[in-house]
Copies of this chain bind each other. A is one copy, B any other.
Amino acid sequence: MIQRFEACVEAVLMTQDPDNFVTERLEQVEVDLAGIPNDRHYGLLRPADVRQKFYPRGKLIANRRQLSIVSVEECEMIAEQLGIERVLPEWLGANVLISGYARLTMLPLGARLLLGSGAGLICEGENKPCSGPAIVIAKECRNPSLQAKFVRAAANRRGIVCSVECPGAIRRGDTLMLAVEES
């Protein structure tokens, strides 16, 4: 049985700068089988890092972390936990911000995210918090103490990573269908 949920694409973002993961807003992107062309996470292959413990670090493996997606609701939860006004998707390096499906981070592996254009993404699981956004948030909020608090505040709220199953456009304002197969 397939359960379906509707959400809204609030923002689409990317960055071309390999040295800065902070993303910038666009009206839309066209994804292909390797992600968002020119984005820093674009590619069929990526070097294995600390998250892929099964392989020697730096070994080229299939890139299943092509896009990262966060929810408005979880960003608000992180902000509340940190005692700050807001957490922007840019600071998290997110590529898509959605609303209407609050517990995005809990979306199961293999769930589909389907766009009106025909584009389809596969949920590759939770995006584990790392220290990059912590430094950005501490700097943006001019509060160095936030850096140490971020990873804990963002645990289970950091959204998901996805890979592209079917090429097409992702547009701001789109309806996003989340499809979860239950056995």
**Chain A contacts to B: CB under 8 angstroms:** 2, 33, 44-45, 48, 53-56, 59-62, 64, 109-110, 112, 114, 118, 120, 122, 124-125, 163-166, 179
Contact = CB atoms under 8 A, between A and B. Distances in A.
A49 B166 CA distance: 13
Given A2-B53, A33-B45, A64-B165, 10 more contacts: A44-B44, A48-B166, A54-B112, A54-B179, A55-B118, A59-B166, A62-B122, A62-B165, A64-B122, A110-B124
A61 B125 contact: no
Copies in the complex: 2
A48 B165 CA distance: 10
Contacts of A166: 48, 55, 59-62
